[in-house]
């Protein structure tokens, strides 16, 4: 069930440093703290697919038990903007429905600063410090799922951006959560570039050119890493830290269970999720929903080939060669 809430009060003194959408911390009507996002950016640009993709990817993540924050739809009306005028004048909110991510409680590690220090290679011991933090992750079994999910939803912003993961420090280790899905699916806009990319995938499968598509996709990730000055870490410094924690063996494919879970999301479940997204967040109505449905179906079909290609290209440090095996049976408990 999706929470539909209103704003009780704002917490502007707790504004996060990261986030291109400048998420505003609020206390919602359920008494919990959320980060309220806006689809308008400082330069006047509008990310018209961001809320749609946040809601879609978050619900898909929850369907496979990927660790993500809870979320809610926050309604802002004229009275809200009268009560909190800074939302209108400083943060450019207008009446409507907005995506909000619930704040993770506990001691959160400042991953952004640690990663930036390591990426710049200017502070002695910074890379080892980063290694130590990731080595203490206690839910390492979720790491293959996080990586595979990001490839499924084409979360191009994950592996070079330290602001898209949260590490909550508990007494017995660090617990990893995945956040921010607005830039999945080739970007936060529903435009010709995204539509063309979706069509390229579908055409590649029709023409049985999946391997070439996997190679092109990998090249795209490598180019992105290079543009961020992170190519020394292959797909990016975040990916490098995550993949170091994944263990392969002759009999175990660490991605197999996650791929099986993704494949087990039924068409009806996927349709239900798409239909749950508020209409104002959908730029192109049923055409857009059908395009995402088709992309998700086709993209998950190539995931085994993509992981095998990445392994063969030595992207995974602990991979020792050989053909990866995958679950073949159908999940009788498909949602």
The pLDDT score that the predictor gives to residue 171 is: 79
Tens of pLDDT, residue by residue over 186-242, are 889 999 999 999 999 989 988 889 999 999 999 999 999 999 999 999 999 999 999
For position 40, what pLDDT does the model report?
A: 80
pLDDT confidence band for 290 (50 / 70 / 90): very high
* Closest-CA residue to 228 (of 150, 154, 160): 160
Assign 113 to helix, strand or coil.
helix
> What integer is the mean pLDDT of 305-311?
96
- Per-residue pLDDT tens for 90-103? 899 999 999 999 99
Q: Reply yes or no on whether the pLDDT at 335 is more than 50.
A: no
Rounded CA-CA distance 284/261 in Å is 29
Percent of the chain with pLDDT over 70: 95
Closest CA to 165 of 239, 97, 270, 216: 239
- Kindly report the average pLDDT of the chain as a whole number: 91
Whether pLDDT at 127 is above 50: yes
Cut 0.85: pTM above it: yes
Q: Which helix (H) or strand (E) holds 5?
A: strand 3-5
What is the phi/psi pair of residue 278, to 5°?
-55, 135
State pLDDT tens for residues 50-59.
Answer: 999 999 999 9
């Amino acid at each position: 069930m999706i929470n539909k809430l209103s704003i009780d009060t704002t917490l502007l003194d707790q504004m996060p440093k990261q986030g291109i959408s400048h998420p505003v911390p609020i206390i919602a009507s359920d008494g919990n703290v959320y980060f309220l996002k806006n689809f308008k950016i400082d330069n006047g640009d509008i990310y018209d697919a961001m809320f749609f993709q946040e809601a879609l990817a978050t619900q898909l993540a929850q369907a496979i038990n990927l660790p993500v924050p809870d979320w809610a739809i926050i309604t802002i009306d004229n009275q809200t903007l009268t009560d909190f005028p800074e939302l209108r004048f400083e943060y450019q909110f207008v009446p409507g429905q907005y995506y909000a991510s619930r704040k993770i409680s506990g001691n959160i590690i400042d991953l952004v600063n640690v990663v930036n220090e390591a990426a710049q290679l200017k502070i002695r011991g910074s890379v080892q410090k980063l290694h130590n933090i990731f080595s203490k992750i206690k839910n390492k079994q979720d790491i293959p799922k996080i990586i595979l999910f990001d490839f499924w939803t084409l979360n191009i912003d994950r592996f070079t951006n330290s602001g898209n993961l949260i590490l909550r420090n508990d007494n017995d280790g660090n617990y990893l959560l995945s956040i921010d899905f607005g830039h999945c699916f080739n970007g936060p806009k529903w435009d010709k570039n995204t539509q063309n990319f979706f069509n390229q995938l579908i055409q590649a499968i029709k023409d049985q050119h999946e391997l070439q598509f996997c190679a092109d996709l990998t090249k795209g990730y490598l180019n992105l890493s290079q543009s961020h000055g992170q190519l020394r870490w292959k797909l990016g410094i975040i990916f490098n830290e995550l993949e170091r924690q994944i263990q392969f063996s002759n009999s175990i494919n660490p991605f197999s269970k996650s791929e099986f879970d993704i494949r087990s999301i039924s068409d009806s479940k996927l349709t239900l999720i798409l239909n749950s997204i508020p209409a104002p967040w959908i730029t192109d109505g049923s055409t857009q929903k059908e395009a995402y449905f088709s992309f998700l179906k086709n993209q998950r079909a190539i995931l085994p080939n993509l992981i095998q290609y990445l392994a063969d290209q030595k992207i995974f440090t602990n991979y020792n060669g050989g053909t990866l095996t995958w679950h073949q049976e159908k999940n009788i408990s498909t949602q």
